[in-house]
Structure 1
Amino acid sequence: MRSTTRTPVLAMLAVVPLLAMLAGCAPIVALEPADDAANPTCAEVIVRLPDTVAGLDMRETNAQGTGAWGEPANVLLRCGVAVPNPTASLACVTAPENGIDWLRDDSDAPNYVFTTYGRDPAVQIIIDSNGDPDVDGDEVSGFDALVELAGAVSQIVPERFCVALSDTTTPDEGSEADTE
């Protein structure tokens, strides 16, 4: 009789550490997949995502072609977003370390949206640069995040590049087309 009462107790004791471990897991980050998230090139990006970005641990997401880091998720990645057209309304910045061109949207600062320029499919990275307000020094550097994600994003071959405004041609104001 003693052995039959002990077996369930031992089994329950074995489950307690497992339950404690599962209770400590961060919840899955709910994201919407981009329209072209099923693009095979996005799979090449996703399998190369780093375990940490800007010192933040990777989290599980519920959508194809996505990645998330931090608790709460301070860095979000979506592959397969619409490929942006050339624009003068967003700054186009080139990371000097890896040559990846990004369109930077800071209209919702301190949340910054970076979208690859000249790559198809496009990758979008959203960075909450404030970090956790309860943790000192938990700010996220957009620059660091972009550099650390470059290895994955570089799987998409660039088709176009950013150009400086000084590299563009403008019509000469003094010349007019011959209309005769």
Structure 2
Amino acid sequence: MPAARFLAASTAAVLTVVALAGCARTIGVEAAPHAADPKCAEVMLAVPDELGGDLPKVPTDSQATAAWGEPGGAVTMRCGVAQLGPSADCQHVDSGDGTAVDWIVTTDDKGTWSFVTYGREPAVEVVVPPAVTEDHSTSFIADLASAVTQVPATKECQ
């Protein structure tokens, strides 16, 4: 009978894992053109488990991507986007721990914020939808400094 109990316990454990995996919220994020760059792997390994104190990291479905929040209202991040040129929209953001990142910051007519690292290749893009900015400021962008600084800066905002 011990073999039967082991088999039953093993089957129950497998079914539990499968059931829990089915409940995981996965956010669809399109991979960036240069997502396979080895530096992106370093960035992804350093992303925080939470943004802004209450946006938990959730699974994504593409390489070199991350997301925090809920489907339909998640902050998304992609490593490997094209580097942007100099812009008046460039902002120097200090994380408070001595780490700083320059970002090109834009917003569209729907209220979606976009942050793209400046002076780092590959570049990292963070998109913040209006559903997030209704209840949060975008200051949590500083929480990503330790991750995006895995790609060394070669230029700074002017």
The one-letter amino acid of 1:162's match is C
Counterpart in 1 of 2:37? 39
Mapping for residues 76-87 of structure 1, pairs under 5 Å: 76-87=76-87
- Distance 1:15-1:87 versus aligned 2 partners, 3 A rule: closer
Note the aligned Cα RMSD (angstroms): 2.5
Q: Which runs of 5+ in 1 are unaligned?
A: 133-137, 164-180
Q: TM-score, normalised by structure 2?
A: 0.80
| Residue 148 (1) aligns with residue 147 (2) | no
In 1, distance between residues paired with 2:81 and 2:41?
Answer: 14
The one-letter amino acid of 1:60's match is P
Counterpart in 2 of 1:158? 153
Post-superposition CA distance 1:117-161 (Å, at most 9, x none): 1111100000124339xxxxx7232111x1111110111111010
In 1, distance between residues paired with 2:63 and 2:18?
Answer: 28
In 2, distance between residues paired with 1:14 and 1:92?
Answer: 51
Q: Secondary structure at the match of 1:95?
A: strand
Q: Which runs of 5+ in 2 are unaligned?
A: none
In 2, distance between residues paired with 1:151 and 1:81?
Answer: 18
In 2, distance between residues paired with 1:15 and 1:157?
Answer: 43
Query: 1:110: Cα distance to partner?
Result: 2.4
In 1, distance between residues paired with 2:12 and 2:121?
Answer: 52
* Larger Rg, first or second structure (1 or 2): 1
The one-letter amino acid of 1:75's match is V
Q: Secondary structure at the match of 1:79?
A: strand
Q: Provide the aligned length of Structure 1 versus Structure 2.
A: 148
- The share of aligned pairs that are identical, in percent, is 35
Mapping for residues 100-139 of structure 1, pairs under 5 Å: 100-131=101-132, 139=135
